[in-house]
Structure 1
Amino acid sequence: MNVWIAIGLTVVGCYAVKLAGLLVPAGALERPVVRKLAALVPVALLAALTAQQTFSSGHEIVLDARAAGLLAAGLALLLRAPFLVVVGIAVVVTAGVRALGG
């Protein structure tokens, strides 16, 4: 498939999704179930992207230094560390494990 055809189809698809979102009646968006789901979708997407980036390499599931960094970040979050500290801890732990050959 030509790259420009793929780009054009992506543009049309994105526009169609945006248009569909605008055409949803306001009454449907005010339902409590829809509000709860709308609040949970970003969290679920972020968790899925984090898991995919941490535990995969191509088409394989791997357990390497990234998992140690994620575990350290999770522990820092449980201890209520500020966000920049959490990121710094994850970076330092990941780099340390890689330096040790992990």
Structure 2
Amino acid sequence: MSLWGWILLASFVAYVTKFSGYLVPAHLLQNERMNYVAATLTIGLLASLTAMNAFSAGQTLALDARAGSLIVAAVALALRAPFLGVVIVGAVTAAALRAAGVAQ
């Protein structure tokens, strides 16, 4: 199958998946357990994406400036810094580590 065939197939599957959400009865979606599961899955997905972006380079494990900035940002969160401050501290840490040549 050509690339465009795969793209069309993936688009169709995404559309069918989204459309099937409209077929779920509303009382099932308003259940307290469903809200808990959805919130927990969201947190887990965000944590896994953050870990993959911070500790991987292609197919290998990488400990570089991204890992250092994530650790510093986690400390800032533990100290209850505002979100914007956490982002700035993480970015400054990554820039400083890259400028120092410690972690490329």
Counterparts of 2:84 and 2:10, CA distance in 1:
35
Matched residue type, 1:26: A
Aligned pairs (5 A) from 1:52-91: 52-91=52-91
Matched residue type, 1:22: Y
5+ long unaligned stretches in structure 2: none
3-state SS in 2 of match to 1:89: helix
- Shift in Å, 1:14: 1.0
Aligned pairs (5 A) from 1:1-102: 1-101=1-101, 102=103
Counterparts of 2:2 and 2:88, CA distance in 1:
42
Counterparts of 1:70 and 1:4, CA distance in 2:
38
Matched residue type, 2:53: Q
Summarize deviations over 1:64-91 as a string: whole Å, max 9, x none. Answer: 1111000111111111212121111111
Counterparts of 1:8 and 1:51, CA distance in 2:
31
Counterparts of 2:6 and 2:95, CA distance in 1:
38
Give structure 1 regions of 4+ aligned residues with deviation exceeding 4 angstroms. Answer: none
Counterparts of 1:82 and 1:6, CA distance in 2:
43
Q: When the two structures are aligned, how many residues end up with a matched partner?
A: 102
Counterparts of 1:51 and 1:13, CA distance in 2:
28
So what's the TM-score if we normalise by structure 2? 0.88
5+ long unaligned stretches in structure 1: none
